[in-house]
C-alpha cells in the first residue's frame, strides 16, 4: 500500500514546500509590524506562536513528502542529502522559534527573547538554503545563473566565441545536438536527476539508454524513442519535455533528427555529413554562417525588395516571405490556389530577381519559354521546385548557370539524362529530385560523380521541407510521426 501511495504523496512535495516559506514570511512581517508604535497595543505578538506553529507543521509535512519523493532514486544523492539536512535543521529551528514565541507571551526576560531571535534568524537562513538546494534538484544546479547576464555569471557570451567555422573540425553531435539536450533535457536527465533512469549528458549515457532500453536507433530518427517522445502531443503524459517545461525549437529538433538519421555517430564531423539545404538555417543559428564549399546563401546580403513589387506578386496568390527573419532574401511559393500561375504572370517576379532565393512553382502552368527569360536573372536562386510542370530539358540550361543553386525539384516532369548534365558544374548542388522523370540511374550516377555532394533522388517523392518554414508545413509530418510514437 505504502509503496503504491509513495510516489503519489511524494508529488505533493513541490506544492507543499511553499507553505512554510509563506508562513515564515508572514511571521517576519508580523514581527516587524509589532515593533511599529501604532500597532503596539494590538497584541500582534500573541499571534506569533500560532503562525510559527503552522510553519512548523507544514515544514514537517514537507519533510515527510520530500522523503517519500527521494525514494524514487531519480535525484542526485549528494544534492538530495544536503537538501534533506537543511530541511531537518529548518524543522528544528522553526519548532524552537515557535516554543520561544509561546514562552515570550508567558514570561518576561532576556532568555525567551534571545532564544526567539536566534531561532528566527536561523530559520530564515535555513529556509533560503533549503529552497536553493531544492531548486537545484528540480531545475539543475545552474538554474540561478543560467539567465544571468554574462558579465555577472563569468561565462563568455555565445557571440564572442563564434568564429569562422571549419567543417572538418566541427563535431556534429557536440556543436549541433548536445547543446539542445543540455538546455532542454539534462535538468531531468543528467547529474542531478535521472528521470526514467535516463541520462542525456554524455555519449556513453545516451548509448546506454534508460528504463526502456536504447533511446536511439542509429539511422532512424523516427524509430528512436528520444525523438518519438518529443513528437508526442503535449497533452500526452509521456511527451518530452513534460508539459510546462521549455521544449526544443523546431530547428533544434530537425538537427537532432538529422544527426540520428545520419547514423548517430558522436565522431561525425560536419565536412563528412550530408547537409541538406533546409538544415542550413538551423545550423547557421548555432554556428554562424557555415562555409560548406562556397559562400552560403545566408551570408548573401541584398537590398530589400520593392514593397510594391512584393504586393503585386502576392496579388497573384503566391506566398512571399523572408527566407529567414531579418533577411531580404525571399521565398516565393505557389500554393494550390495559384495553379493558374503561368508565363505571363512570371513577369511579376522580375523586379524581385535579386531577392528570390527560393522559388517554388510546382504544379503551375509555367513553361520553358517563360522560365528561360526569368531564370538567368535569379542570381541568388538557392532552391527551386518546378515539379509537376510542363518544363523540359531546356529549362535546365539556365539553371545550370546559377552558381548558388543547391536544391532542384524536377519531380514528375519530362526532363532526361541529357538535361541533367547541364547541372554538373554547379559547385553547391546538393539534391536533385527526379522521381517520375526520364532520368535513369546511369544519368543520376553521372551527375553525382561530377557534382561531388549532389544526391539525385529517383525513388521517393520529395521529402517535405523542414527547418525553415514556420510550422504549417511541418504539422502534417509531425502528425504522422505522432501517430507512430508510443
Ligand atoms: C521536467 C523533467 C523532464 C525533462 C525536462 C525531460 N524529461 Fe524526459 N523524462 C522525464 C520523466 C519523469 C521520465 C520518466 C517517465 C516517463 O517515462 O514518461 C522521462 C522519460 C524519458 C524517456 C524515456 C526513457 C525510458 O527509457 O523509458 C525519454 C526517451 C526522455 N524522457 C527523453 C527526454 C528528452 C529528449 C528530453 C528533452 C527534450 C526530456 N526527456 C526532458 C522527465 C523529464
Number of residues written out for the chain: 486
pLDDT, residue 133, reads: 84
Tell me which long-range contacts 179-186 makes (C-beta under 8 A, separation of at least 24).
179/286, 180/248, 180/252, 180/253, 180/255, 180/256, 181/206, 181/256, 183/246, 183/248, 184/241, 184/245, 184/246, 184/247, 184/248, 184/252, 185/240, 185/241, 186/140
Taking CA 199 as the corner, what is the angle to CA 77 and CA 74, rounded to the nearest 5 degrees? 35
Give per-residue pLDDT as tens, 96-150: 999 999 998 888 888 888 999 999 999 999 999 998 888 877 766 555 555 555 4
Using one digit for the tens of pLDDT, what is the confidence trace for 406-429?
Answer: 899 999 999 999 999 999 989 888
- Residue nearest (by alpha carbon) to ligand 1 atom 43: 188
Are 65 and 16 in contact by the 8 Å Cβ rule? The answer is: yes
Ligand 1 atom nearest residue 238's Cα: 18
C-alpha cell of residue 211:
528504463
Q: Can you tell me the distance from the alpha carbon of 119 to that of 95, in angstroms, rounded to the nearest whole number?
A: 9
- For residue 331, give the nearest of 299, 305, 368, 370 by alpha carbon: 305
Who's near 48: CB < 8 A, 6+ residues apart? 27, 30, 31, 101, 104, 105
pLDDT of the residue at 471: 37
Q: Evaluate if residue 60 carries a pLDDT over 60.
A: yes
**All three cell numbers of 14:** 513541490
Q: Give me ligand 1 centre to Cα 82, in Å.
A: 25
Q: How far apart are CA 121 and CA 37, in angstroms?
A: 23
What are the Cα distances from residue 34, in Å, to 97, 114, 389?
Answer: 16, 17, 84
Measured from CB, residues less than 6 Å from any atom of ligand 1 are 184-185, 187-189, 195-196, 198, 209-212, 215, 225-226, 229-230, 238, 240-242, 245, 248
pLDDT at 313: 96
Per the CB < 8 A criterion, the answer to whether 23 and 55 are in contact is: yes
Tell me the C-alpha distance between 137 and 247, whole Å: 19
Q: Is the pLDDT of residue 225 over 70?
A: yes
Task: Name which of 266, 271, 327 is nearest 298 in CA terms.
Answer: 327
pLDDT in tens, 50-59: 999 999 999 9
Q: Is the pLDDT of residue 395 over 50?
A: yes
Amino acid at each position: 500500500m505504502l509503496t503504491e501511495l509513495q510516489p503519489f504523496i511524494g508529488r505533493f512535495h513541490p506544492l507543499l514546500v511553499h507553505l512554510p516559506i509563506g508562513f515564515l514570511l508572514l511571521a517576519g512581517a508580523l514581527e516587524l509590524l509589532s515593533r511599529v508604535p501604532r500597532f503596539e497595543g494590538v497584541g500582534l505578538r500573541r499571534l506569533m506562536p500560532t503562525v510559527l506553529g503552522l510553519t512548523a507543521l507544514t515544514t514537517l509535512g514537507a519533510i515527510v513528502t520530500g522523503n517519500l519523493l527521494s525514494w524514487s532514486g531519480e535525484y542526485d544523492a549528494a544534492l538530495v542529502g544536503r537538501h534533506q539536512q537543511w530541511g531537518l535543521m529548518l524543522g528544528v529551528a522553526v519548532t524552537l522559534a515557535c516554543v520561544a514565541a509561546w514562552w515570550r507571551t508567558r514570561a518576561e526576560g532576556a532568555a525567551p527573547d534571545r532564544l526567539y531571535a536566534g531561532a528566527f534568524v536561523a530559520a530564515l537562513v535555513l529556509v533560503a538554503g533549503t529552497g536553493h538546494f531544492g531548486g537545484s534538484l528540480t531545475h539543475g544546479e545552474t538554474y540561478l545563473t543560467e539567465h544571468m547576464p554574462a558579465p555577472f555569471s563569468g561565462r563568455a557570451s555565445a557571440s564572442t566565441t563564434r568564429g569562422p567555422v571549419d567543417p572538418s573540425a566541427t563535431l556534429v553531435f557536440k556543436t549541433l545536438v548536445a547543446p539542445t539536450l543540455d538546455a532542454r533535457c539534462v535538468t531531468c536527465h543528467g547529474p542531478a536527476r535521472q528521470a526514467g533512469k535516463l541520462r542525456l549528458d554524455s555519449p556513453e549515457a545516451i548509448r546506454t539508454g534508460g528504463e526502456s532500453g536504447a533511446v536511439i536507433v542509429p539511422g532512424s530518427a523516427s524509430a528512436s524513442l528520444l525523438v518519438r517522445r518529443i513528437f508526442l502531443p503535449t497533452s500526452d503524459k509521456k511527451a518530452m519535455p513534460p508539459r510546462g517545461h521549455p521544449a526544443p525549437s523546431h530547428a533544434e529538433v530537425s538537427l537532432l533528427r538529422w544527426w540520428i538519421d545520419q547514423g548517430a555517430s558522436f565522431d561525425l564531423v560536419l565536412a563528412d555529413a550530408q547537409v541538406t539545404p533546409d538544415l542550413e538555417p538551423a545550423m547557421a543559428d548555432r554556428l554562424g554562417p557555415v562555409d560548406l564549399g562556397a559562400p552560403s546563401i545566408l551570408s548573401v546580403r541584398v537590398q530589400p525588395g520593392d514593397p510594391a513589387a512584393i504586393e503585386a506578386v502576392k496579388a497573384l496568390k503566391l506566398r512571399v516571405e523572408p527566407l529567414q527573419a531579418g533577411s531580404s532574401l525571399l521565398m516565393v511559393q505557389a500554393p494550390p490556389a495559384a495553379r493558374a500561375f503561368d508565363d505571363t504572370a512570371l513577369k511579376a517576379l522580375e523586379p524581385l530577381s535579386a531577392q528570390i532565393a527560393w522559388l517554388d512553382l510546382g504544379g503551375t502552368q509555367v513553361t520553358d519559354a517563360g522560365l528561360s527569360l526569368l531564370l538567368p536573372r535569379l542570381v541568388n536562386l538557392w532552391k527551386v521546385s518546378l515539379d509537376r510542370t510542363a518544363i523540359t530539358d531546356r529549362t535546365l540550361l539556365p539553371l545550370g548557370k546559377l552558381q548558388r543553386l543547391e536544391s532542384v525539384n524536377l519531380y514528375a516532369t519530362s526532363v532526361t539524362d541529357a538535361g541533367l548534365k547541364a547541372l554538373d558544374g554547379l559547385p553547391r548542388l546538393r539534391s536533385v529530385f527526379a522521381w517520375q522523370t526520364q532520368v535513369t540511374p546511369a544519368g543520376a550516377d553521372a551527375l553525382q560523380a561530377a557534382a561531388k555532394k549532389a544526391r539525385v533522388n529517383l525513388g521517393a517523392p520529395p521529402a517535405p521541407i523542414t527547418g525553415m518554414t514556420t510550422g504549417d508545413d511541418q504539422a502534417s509530418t509531425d502528425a504522422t510521426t505522432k501517430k507512430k510514437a508510443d
